[in-house]
Structure 1
Amino acid sequence: MATMTKRTTVYFDPQLHKVLKAKSLECEKSISEIVDLALRHELLEDLEDIRDFEERKNGGFISYKEMLERLNNE
């Protein structure tokens, strides 16, 4: 079964486009595949950051002064 895709236009800096074309030839993937994978990686990283934030948001607050005192006592 074919994967449904959407088409869009993306404008790249000429040097970046040159690098993408070279990488495309090197790894035998289309520029579209490379960009898709890079965006997925970036978005998954954001998701990890959001999950980390959610886990820590109720972890309590330490004032700047308290943090300095902790560092001083080490």
Structure 2
Amino acid sequence: MSALTKRTPIYLAPAMHRALQHKALETSRSVSDLVNDAVRKTLAEDAEDLAAFQERVNEPLVTYECLFKELKVPLNQ
């Protein structure tokens, strides 16, 4: 662990903690590494979602009723 890491307590369900410990042993990694990777991936997915929303911010809104009507129209028309 580097000097730049920050220690913080987290509370896990016992089964989750056991699963992480087993995964850490199987992969020769620490529980901290596994948790950091999982959090990093989740934050990256959130950033992608926010970017996608930002790209579409100027698109016109479509009401549920309009969308429903469009879905009811057969594709061959």
Residue in structure 2 matched with residue 29 of structure 1 by the alignment = 29
- Within 5 A, what are the aligned runs for 1:1-74? 2=2, 4-74=4-74
Consecutive unaligned residues in structure 2, runs of 5 or more: none
Deviates more, 1:35-44 or 1:60-69: 60-69
Consecutive unaligned residues in structure 1, runs of 5 or more: none
Q: Which runs of 4+ in 1 moved over 4 A?
A: none
Identity of aligned residues (%): 37
If the length of structure 1 is used for normalisation, what is the TM-score? 0.89
If the length of structure 2 is used for normalisation, what is the TM-score? 0.86
User: What is the number of equivalent residue pairs in this alignment?
Assistant: 73
The structure with the largest helix share of the pair is 1
CA positional deviation for 1:64: 2.0
RMSD: 1.3
Structure 2 counterpart of 1:5, which letter?
A: T
